[in-house]
Amino acid sequence: MPFDAPSLPPFDPWRSAAVAADVALATRASASQLADRQANRLAALLRAACEQVPLYQRLYKPLLAGGRDPASLPLDTLPVLHKAELMRHFGNAVSDPAVQLGELQRFVADRSRIAEPYLGRYVVWESSGSSGEPCIYLQDAAAMAVYDALEAVRRPWQRALNPWAWNERLVFVGAIGGHFASTVSVERLRRLNPMLASRLCSVSFLQPMPALVAELNALAPAVLATYPSAAVLLAEEQMAGRLKLGLREIGTGGETLSAAMRRVVEQAFSCPVSNSYGASEFLAIAAECHHGAMHLNSDWVILEPVDAEGRPVPPGVAGHTTLLTNLANHLQPLIRFDLGDRVSVHAEPCACGSALPVIEVQGRSDDILRLGPAGRHRVQVSPLALCTVLEDEAGLFEFQLVQQGPCELSLSTNLGGEAGRALLRHGSQVLRSFLAGQGMAPVSIHCHPGQAARPGRSGKRQRIVGWR
């Protein structure tokens, strides 16, 4: 089936305005008012999933004997959905029978179609595969209206989030060669409002640092959006005098932002840093308030921290993993979806006065690699850049890369046998080529198939481990 001709990304201005008004009201709502909104939206989601989505009809059939209303099902009694199951039954996991996985995968493989609407009506995001299982997510105009409203109303860095009126340049630094949520979001805004094209830009963090610095100096942004590890590397370039940006704000997300990392970035750029938490499964899960607390958008998304056996953990305790329920997306319902992140939800309210729950996230905590012989200039590489290269160019998703010396790396994967060896051989070739392009002298890469990744300091598996 041929793809639809290029058209504008999904955007419903009337729905967006209504949702934005509701989000603004709910921002200062009481805990009981937020709970009512959540309960009503969960009931609507469960009914829609059981009426329109074959996967949920099958999963919930034993629970709906006797004509039971799906909305009456307690959330914590429902089965957990994993990425592998979602992808295995993809055609039955969406409400639109016109969606075909094979065609969708060909669409995603075409990088020239980033931010184009699939079937003329859906936004497409692909996950990075950080948990070892890449996935594809579809959003309709209704879901996008919710994400747009949460981003515009509840994040504190207003320069970046008033895109229809601001006159300062925002630059996103990240992986821009795929249908990733951040990349698609930037390009979607550019397409919806061409007047933004010169003021809203994406820059690849896969290029060598001198080229990245030169491009950023030429663009001279007022607002920078990137990942914490990339922000630290850019902060070092700013303090060295090679990067010369007069930033007013920096927004970070996608990795753990430690207090030490925040101090380095704020000191280098002399501007505030605002952090947020989002995922391909739900773009705007949480954002910081002015007190520095991370507030969950609980009126539109539910997080359940659970232990290794799937049991809920007490408030303030980080779960083994977290189950996410997206209350905005009825096209591709995600109900008790295993997110893989370790999150704790606090019972105490925030001093800012908001009733939105405060959460702490132990997200990605990969290390920056600093490669090169002692006494010589070292090449510094963001962990997300390394992950992007190994995923996109080598097809390696389940791996761990450990620096064992100044010019020595260990690359391992859980997959054993000849299949694992072949993947690692290709991965090491791709990695050597990438590092050479960064200006790195030859490195030794030792391949270890059939070797489990070791956990990081937070207990979560690290994919990139620096030399200690």
pLDDT (tens digit per residue) in 46-60: 999 999 999 999 999
> What mean pLDDT is reported for the chain?
89
pLDDT tier for residue 133 given thresholds of 50, 70 and 90: low
352 and 377 in a single domain? The answer is: no
Does residue 194 or residue 87 have the better pLDDT?
A: 87
7 inside domain: no
355 and 381 in a single domain? The answer is: no
Final residue in a domain of this structure, among 362, 378, 396 = 362
Looking up residue 457, the CATH number of its domain turns out to be 3.30.300
Final residue in a domain of this structure, among 333, 362, 391 = 362
Burial status of residue 215 (CB atoms within 10 A of its CB: 0-12, 13-18, 19 or more): middle
pLDDT tier for residue 88 given thresholds of 50, 70 and 90: very high
Domain boundaries, position 427? 369-465
309 and 345 in a single domain? The answer is: yes
Looking up residue 108, the CATH number of its domain turns out to be 3.40.50.12780
Report pLDDT for 230: 92
337 and 445 in a single domain? The answer is: no
Report pLDDT for 391: 84
User: Using H for helix, E for strand and C for coil, what is the string for the chain?
Assistant: CCCCCCCCCCCCHHHHHHHHHHHHHHHCCCHHHHHHHHHHHHHHHHHHHHHHCHHHHHHHHHHHCCCCCHHHCCHHHCCCECHHHHHHCHHHCCCCCCCCHHHHHHHHHCHHHCCCCECCCEEEEECCCCCCCCCEEEECHHHHHHHHHHHHHHCCCCCCCCCCCCCCCEEEEECCCCCCHHHHHHHHHHHHCHHHCCCEEEEECCCCHHHHHHHHHHHCCCEEEECHHHHHHHHHHHHCCCCCCCCCEEEECCCCCCHHHHHHHHHHHCCCEEEEEEECCEEEEEEECCCCCEEECCCCEEEEEECCCCCECCCCCCCCEEEEEECCCCCCCCCCEECCCEEEECCCCCCCCCCCCEEEEECCCCCCEEECCCCCCCEEECHHHHHHHHHHHHCCCCCEEEEEECCEEEEEECCCHHHHHHHHHHHHHHHHHHHHHCCCCCCEEEEEECCCCCECCCCCECCEECCC
pLDDT tier for residue 161 given thresholds of 50, 70 and 90: very low
pLDDT tier for residue 33 given thresholds of 50, 70 and 90: very high
152 and 291 in a single domain? The answer is: yes
Report pLDDT for 199: 86
Residue 165 has pLDDT above 50, yes or no: no
100 and 146 in a single domain? The answer is: yes
C-alpha span between 140 and 48 (Å, rounded): 15
Query: Quick one: residue 338, left, alpha or beta (phi over 0 = left, psi -120 to 50 = alpha)?
Result: beta
Residue 313 has pLDDT above 50, yes or no: yes
pTM of the full structure: 0.85
Burial status of residue 204 (CB atoms within 10 A of its CB: 0-12, 13-18, 19 or more): middle
C-alpha span between 8 and 28 (Å, rounded): 34
344 and 376 in a single domain? The answer is: no
C-alpha span between 216 and 202 (Å, rounded): 10
Q: What is the mean pLDDT of residues 387-404?
A: 87
Q: What is the mean pLDDT of residues 317-329?
A: 95
330 and 424 in a single domain? The answer is: no
Tell me what percent of the residues of the chain surpass a pLDDT of 90: 66
332 and 459 in a single domain? The answer is: no
1 inside domain: no
C-alpha span between 171 and 102 (Å, rounded): 33
**Among 336, 337, 338, 329, which Cα is nearest to 53's?**
329
Give the relative orientation of helices 228-239 and 259-269 as an angle to the nearest 10 degrees. 40
132 and 271 in a single domain? The answer is: yes
348 and 375 in a single domain? The answer is: no
435 and 329 in a single domain? The answer is: no
Total domains, the chain: 2
Report pLDDT for 340: 87
